[in-house]
Amino acid sequence: MADNVDLGKCFEIINNLTTEAGRLIVHNNETRQDFVCKSGDIDLVTQTDQDVEKLIMNGIRHHFPSHKFIGEEESSTDAGVKKLTDEPTWIIDPVDGTMNFVHAFPHSCISVGLKVNKVTEMAIIYNPMLEQRFTARRGQGAFYNGRRIQASGQKELSKALVTSEFGTTRDEQKMKVVNENFANMAKKVHGLRVLGSAALNMAMVALGAADANYEFGIHAWDVCAGDLIVREAGGVVIDPAGGEFDIMSRRVLAAATPQLAQELSKELTQFYPQPRDD
Ligand code: LIP
């Protein structure tokens, strides 16, 4: 119980809601999705993103009327990103990897984290197309389809499989940094992967299938769940410059070990997206 929040019931409810939302995503994934552009021509939203966010928020409100939300689509309206308080707050990305979803490339997911007193108590990352469900509860480990998972333990960058993204902006300054880092990574790492979903990139680190992930420009809803799942799998999540992870900074670096995280951090040209999410 965090402050009289029934976490067991929360976990049961969010698992059921993501299963229901997953059915909607799989159904809609059978046909090419119409989309609308948000901040630019590669920052997309579909009706499915909107419907899944509403489904999850309404389902939670039904059981927990006082709980708060920070959802990607709600935050993209004039209301903007809600302030994170000590209240129980669900941080939701209804379809992470919307570009993949629009192309029916089966690598997108629902990503949900619950924070109480600003501490993440539980997390789910669920790719319904491939039936990949990553879950974690604070202090209770991380799981993949019910099986306990561990990060790879990799300490060396030259032996590491690293994931990152171009992102959904063509801002020249940002693209210069992204390409500089990709060129440097191509010389320093075992392999580099760009798969199109920040949440699944972090889940792969928790699964031990990738050894590190970094990105500039993501939002709180892209990384909230992944942060807890990586840490509960024995990995680390830091700021890409080497300091403490700040969920509102739009910057993330996740790695199997502190040594790999610091080695990767030293290799990165830094970028500070504006504005922050708060
Ligand atoms: C996407 C992230 C991706 C990032 C994109 C975007 P969306 O989330 O998964 O890692 O590069 O800019 O934030 O918009 O598909 O939910």
| Whether residue 118 is found in the same domain as residue 89 | yes
Report the pLDDT value the prediction gives residue 30, as an integer from 0 to 100. 86
**Dmax (CA) of the chain:** 52
The tally of domains found in the chain comes to 2
Closest residue to atom 11 of ligand 1, CA basis: 167
| Whether residue 130 is found in the same domain as residue 17 | yes
Report the pLDDT value the prediction gives residue 259, as an integer from 0 to 100. 98
Residue 137 contacts residue 121 (beta carbons within 8 Å): yes
For ligand 1, the distance from its centroid to the CA atom of residue 37, given in whole angstroms, is 13
Among 88, 117, 149, which residue terminates a domain? Answer: 149
Report the pLDDT value the prediction gives residue 28, as an integer from 0 to 100. 95
pLDDT tier at 1 (50, 70, 90 boundaries)?
A: very low
Among 114, 132, 149, which residue terminates a domain? Answer: 149
Q: What is the β-pairing status of strands 109-116 and 68-71?
A: unpaired
The 10 Å Cβ neighbour count of residue 148 is 11
How does pLDDT run across 63-91, given as a tens digit for each residue?
A: 999 999 999 999 888 777 889 999 999 99
What does DSSP assign to residue 210? S
Contact residues for 170 (Cβ-Cβ < 8 A; gap 6+): 40, 41, 42
User: Looking at residues 243-261, what average pLDDT do you find?
Assistant: 98
Q: Average per-residue pLDDT in the chain?
A: 96
How does pLDDT run across 147-163, given as a tens digit for each residue?
A: 999 999 999 999 999 99
Report the pLDDT value the prediction gives residue 3, as an integer from 0 to 100. 62
Report the pLDDT value the prediction gives residue 98, as an integer from 0 to 100. 97
| Whether residue 145 is found in the same domain as residue 176 | no
Residue 274 lies in a domain: no
| Whether residue 16 is found in the same domain as residue 113 | yes
| Whether residue 54 is found in the same domain as residue 111 | yes
Give the integer Cα–Cα distance in Å for 24 and 103: 16
The 10 Å Cβ neighbour count of residue 247 is 26
275: preceding bond cis by omega (within 30 degrees): yes
Provide residues with CB under 6 Å of ligand 1.
72, 93, 96-98, 165, 167-168, 197-198, 215, 217-218, 222
For ligand 1, the distance from its centroid to the CA atom of residue 3, given in whole angstroms, is 33
pTM of the model: 0.97
| Whether residue 134 is found in the same domain as residue 177 | no
What CATH number did the domain enclosing 231 receive?
3.40.190.80
Whose CA is closest to 126, among 135, 138, 115, 137? Answer: 135
Beta strands in 117-211 (DSSP E): 119-127, 132-137, 142-144, 147-149, 161-163, 191-193
For ligand 1, the distance from its centroid to the CA atom of residue 1, given in whole angstroms, is 33
| Whether residue 192 is found in the same domain as residue 122 | no
How does pLDDT run across 194-215, given as a tens digit for each residue?
A: 999 999 999 999 999 999 999 9
Helix (H) or strand (E) segment spanning residue 254 = strand 251-255
How does pLDDT run across 105-147, given as a tens digit for each residue?
A: 999 999 999 999 999 999 999 999 999 999 999 999 999 999 9
Report the pLDDT value the prediction gives residue 230, as an integer from 0 to 100. 98
Residue 1 lies in a domain: no
Residue 277 lies in a domain: no
| Whether residue 100 is found in the same domain as residue 123 | yes
Evaluate if residue 60 carries a pLDDT over 60. yes
User: Looking at residues 10-23, what average pLDDT do you find?
Assistant: 98
The binding site for Mg(2+) comprises 72, 93, 96, 222
Report how far apart, in Å, the C-alpha atoms of 141 and of each of 78, 222, 235 are: 38, 20, 11
Give the integer Cα–Cα distance in Å for 112 and 96: 10
172 is in which domain, residue-wise?
Answer: 157-267
Report the pLDDT value the prediction gives residue 2, as an integer from 0 to 100. 54
Evaluate if residue 37 carries a pLDDT over 60. yes
For ligand 1, the distance from its centroid to the CA atom of residue 6, given in whole angstroms, is 31
The binding site comprises 72, 93, 96, 222
